[in-house]
Structure 1
Amino acid sequence: MTDLALHEALWAALDRHLPAAFDLRRRLHREPDLSGDEASTRDTVLAALPGAGAATKTADTGAVLRIGGPGPAIGVRGEMDALPVTEDTGVDWASARPGVMHACGHDTHLAALVAVAGALAETGPPVPLLAVLQPREETYPSGARDIVADGLVESEQCVAMVGAHVQPLLAPGEVACTPGGVNGSSDEFEIVVRGRPGHAAYPHLTDDALLAMSEIVVALQSVVSRSVDPMMPAVLGVSSFSAGNAANVIAGSARATGTVRALASSTRELVHRRITEVAESVARAHACTASVTITRGEPVLDNDPALVRSIAHELDRRGLAVSGDLRSLGSDDFSYFCERVPSVMLFVGTRTSEPLHSSRFLPDDEDVRVLAAALLAGYLGTVAAMESPAGVSGAPGVRGTTDGRP
């Protein structure tokens, strides 16, 4: 079968698998699972995938399933967890679990992945597909981090990863395929200042931790504007502040917490260092001490430029509207896969303008269709990159056959 004939067969097969994907999406939406409790979602999706008996469990409630023969594979991720949100959509397939809702589109991602997997299994994948059912995208500890730590990327010979996420900021049917950093790193910090408490009538006998922390908070506002290259996006935000519990007592300690986001690893490390320098030096000026704890979260989500070019070509061939530039300092733990293998996260516009995590966020069947098309184009674009002279991830010239053997 020629490449053109195979592509046409795959797209026709995808159309045949979409009605079942629409039904699956409604089942998943009606029965959402919170982060860390996705076992029933996993089992529902596995039952809809071809060859589910060969799945490998991972990250507590996750699983990976190979479709095709041995050899280098392309991973496609679907996240499984819902959010602690009370649904307000009014549809007859709304969440049957009070206070839990698929308000981030993960049900659509899973349904689209199942449709793509079914099409590839029916037609025969030119390169094996690794369907990655990932838990805990919305919370820590990250499910993607744990899948990577389990060594499945290496043991399954996964040479590239593809993901797609619905995005109401884009026009309906539009697909963003952007090279480089597209989602920021996400870290949290805690600052604790310790001084010497005392009666407010005798301030000269105290070292005011509240005052020191107040000046630290103000000083931190200049870190991004005066320490970071203005062409490098970053956010440093203090989100909580607590000190003291009486009107006539000068506080002996104060605590503040916040977040750091960046689109480059070098910026991330610079801001971390400046937080500690500012906190310690300002506290010292007030005869206090400051301790800083930085909890590292997701790294930068960095789309591989070569894969982006190849996938954008496939999207264009299929007639999808391609946007070349969508970046944000939101985060996604898909970035852990990006650290291991060349990867691309696509963003797909929705017919709803409700924001992500809204109680009324509800993509429709057409959004599932476009998302599935984006995932299949991502897979085919990655196959094309693997077959190019440069190859992918040190596997040049990998050429598959229609039964999945490399």
Structure 2
Amino acid sequence: MTLDADLLEQMKTWRRLIHRHPELAFDEYRTAGLVAEKLVEFGLDVERNIAGTGVVGTLRNGAGPSIGLRADMDALPISEENTFDYRSAHPGCMHACGHDGHTAMLLGAAAHLARHRDFCGTLHFIFQPAEEMAGGAGEMIRAGLFDRFPCDAVYALHNWPGLKLGHFAINPGPMMASLDTFEIIVSGTGAHAAQPHKGVDSLLCAATIVTSLQSIVSRSIDPHEALVVTVTQLHGGDAWNVIPASTVIRGTVRAMREVDRQLAKRRIREIAGNTAAAFGATADVRHIDGYPPTVNTSRETDLAIAAARRVVGDGAVEFDCVPSMASEDFSLMLQRRPGAYMWLGVDGDAHVAPLHNPHYDFNDQALGYGAGFFVEMARGTRY
């Protein structure tokens, strides 16, 4: 399918305006205001301030399924290092993950569908705040998203550097990993560095725990499955000659299966507690549940593949792709409704910088493909 030329140019303008004015989780007031203003202009019914800054626009056209199409709106706390004229005007904040592009594409789909009305059913255009680690999807759900806007299925996509422009990729089943965090406070007894026998070395104990945590993946998980346990922080001590009384370990766990996610949680507690006991120390473990795995349902994956093929043809749609160990809070929506999550290629003649990189910029050439996917999901979904 081909979008109107004027709409493609409008999407580019919206995208660059949003890029110029990025906003962090739950502070997307300007972005949400732009979204709501445009949806009203297109003739949609609009609900604002869902979970703070969330916006839902609804478009109805006869009898048919009720479909949710979602885009995320938040930026990242990164200082942009690009030099083009629409670079971030807000130091320490930039759209380094392409949510500006996602928002523009969903707005473009809403504009096209409102203009042409070539679908049957009800469409809910879900503009979500706070995807980046803040769980905006969960907050919208708790605010009654699916009670107020019933959906038979939900769909989303994410731009994907490394995937060729005009290509889509999807995996039936797990698409992205879960994300949980943990903190272990190891408590011992402080002592002089020259008299270690008079204390309980929390730092040595913590170092042993860090090493032992690596056995979870290598010895507790089926080698055919994917799990990552990563320690990212180790804090202990302030002086050269003092053994610290306490040391803090922090890190993340990512899994493709819920059973492995729960196993890792249990093994972290066991390893930390038993290792600390062996040293004569104690370990207080705090596990913070984040996002579950992003798991596509089979029927909706087939519908998403069919929609993408109507946009770019059979050869440009990859399925059974390798899932990513990154995470996505759209997973929370997929726990409550059937649906599918698709990757959209953005690499043109030159590679796009990686996501979450200060040089990243969404490729405007991908806008038509993404908006086209949302349009075809609306046109082609039948229940």
TM-score (norm 2): 0.92
Match of 1:345 in 2: 341
Alpha-carbon deviation of 1:314? 2.6
Q: Report the counterpart of residue 375 of structure 1 in structure 2.
A: 374
Conserved? CA contact 1:311–1:380, under 8 Å:
no
Asked if the contact 1:33–1:81 (Cα under 8 Å) also holds between the matched residues in 2, the reply is: yes
1:240 Cα deviation (Å)? Answer: 0.9
Query: Structure 2 counterpart of 1:66, which letter?
Result: T
| Paired residues of 1:14 and 1:118 also in contact (CA < 8 A) | no
Residue 392 of structure 1 corresponds to none
The question of 1:26 aligning with 2:16 is answered yes
Q: Partners in 2 of 1:13 and 1:370 — Cα distance?
A: 9
Given that 2:175 and 2:295 are in contact with CA atoms closer than 8 Å, whether structure 1 keeps it comes out as yes
- Residues 1:136 and 2:126 are matched in the alignment: no
Identity rate, percent: 36
Distance of 2:188 and 2:89 partners within structure 1: 52
200, 205, 213: which one pairs with 2:198? Answer: 205
1:4-29 CA distances to partner (integer Å, 9 max, x unpaired)? xxxxxxx4556663222222212222
Deviation string 1:280-324 (CA, Å, 9 cap, x unpaired) is 111111111111000111111111111111221232233341111
Structure with the higher fraction of residues in strand conformation: 2
Matching of residue 327 in structure 1 with residue 323 in structure 2: yes
Q: In structure 1, how many angstroms separate the alpha carbons of the residues matched to 2:147 and 2:64?
A: 11
Q: 2 CA distance for matches of 1:247 and 1:99?
A: 34
How many angstroms apart in 2 are the aligned matches of 1:314 and 1:247?
62
For the residue of structure 1 that corresponds to 2:49, the secondary structure is: strand
Rounded to whole Å, the distance in 2 between the matches of 1:211 and 1:31 is 47
Does the Cα contact within 8 Å between 1:83 and 1:138 map onto a contact in 2? yes
* Residue 59 (1) aligns with residue 51 (2): yes
Amino acid paired to 1:298: Y
Deviation at 1:204, TM superposition (A): 2.8
Letter in 2 for 1:344: A
Find the residue that maps to 2:225 and give its secondary structure. Answer: coil
Distance 1:138 1:310 in 2: 27
Q: Which of 36, 48, 51 is residue 38 of structure 2 equivalent to?
A: 48
Shift of 1:279: 0.5
Question: Structure 2, unaligned stretches of length 5 or more?
Answer: none
Return closer, same or farther for 1:289/1:364 CA change in 2, 3 Å cut-off: closer
TM-score normalised by structure 1 residue count? 0.87
1:375 offset after TM fit, Å? Answer: 2.3
**Aligned pairs, how many?**
373
In the alignment, which residue of structure 2 is the partner of 1:288? 281
Q: CA 1:359–1:199 in 2, change beyond 3 Å: closer, same or farther?
A: closer
- 2: CA distance, partners of 1:292 / 1:379: 46
Deviation for aligned residue 1:115? 1.3
Letter of the 1:129 partner, please give it. Answer: L
Q: Does 1:112 align with 2:105?
A: yes
Matches within 5 A, 1:349-368: 349-350=345-346, 351=348, 352-368=351-367
Aligned match of 1:398: none
Which segments of 5 or more consecutive residues in structure 1 lack a partner in the other structure?
Answer: 1-10, 387-406
Corresponding residue number in structure 1 for 2:153:
160
On the 8 A contact 1:71/1:157 being kept in 2, the answer is no
